[in-house]
Amino acid sequence: MRITGGKLGGRKLSTPKGRDIRPTTDKIRLAVFNMLNSRGMVNGAVVLDAFCGTGALGLEAISHGAKSSIFIDKDIKSLNLAKENSDNLGVFNECIFIKKDSTKIHKKPDNIEKASLLFFDPPYKKGLVLPAIDSLKNSGWISEDAFAVIEVEKEADISIECKDIKDISVEKLYGDIKIIIAVI
C-alpha cells in the first residue's frame, strides 16, 4: 500500500497484519482524490478520518495539500498504525490522534480546528456512518457545509433524507464498494 499522489506520492504505508483492519485500496484512494482535487476540496482543508485504520485517507489528504488531519479510532492498534505511518512519512506534527469511538465522540476542544473534509470508512454492515456524522456534528467537530467521503458496502443506503446530509454529489460503485461524496 502506498500514497497515490501529491508531495508524498509513492511512499509506502505500513499495513495491518490479519483482517481486523480493511484499508481503502490504492486504486479507490486514487479515484477518490482525483474527484476531490477536481472540486478543490483538499488543498488547505482540515481533515477528519473518523475510522482511521491505517490512516491512509488522512495521510493521502496531507500529501495532496490538506492543512492537517485528525485521526479517530476506538482501536489502539489502528491508531498506533496511523501514528507509525504519519511518523514514517514525516508528517506527524500535522496530525492529531484521538482514541475514541466516532459514534460517541466528546465535545471538540477549542484548540482543534473544525474539519472541512471528513472520511468515513467504518466496518461494513454495522450502520456506523450516520451515528458518527450525528455525533461529530453535535459535538462541534464539523465546519458548516463540510464535505464527507463515505465508503460503504454497495448495498448500503445512505439516504439524502438524513438530517445531517445536505446533498449527495457523487455516488460511485467500485466492485462491492460504494463511494459517496456528500455535503454535511
Q: Which CATH class is domain 41-143?
A: alpha beta
pLDDT per residue as tens digits for the range 132-146 = 999 999 999 999 989
Query: CA gyration radius for the chain?
Result: 15
- Residue 151 CA to residue 149 CA, distance in Å, equals 7
Place of cell 479507490: 28
pLDDT per residue as tens digits for the range 42-100 = 999 999 999 999 999 999 999 999 999 999 999 999 999 999 999 999 999 999 999 99
Name the pTM for this structure. Answer: 0.93
Q: Give domain limits for the chain.
A: 41-143
Residue type, 27: K
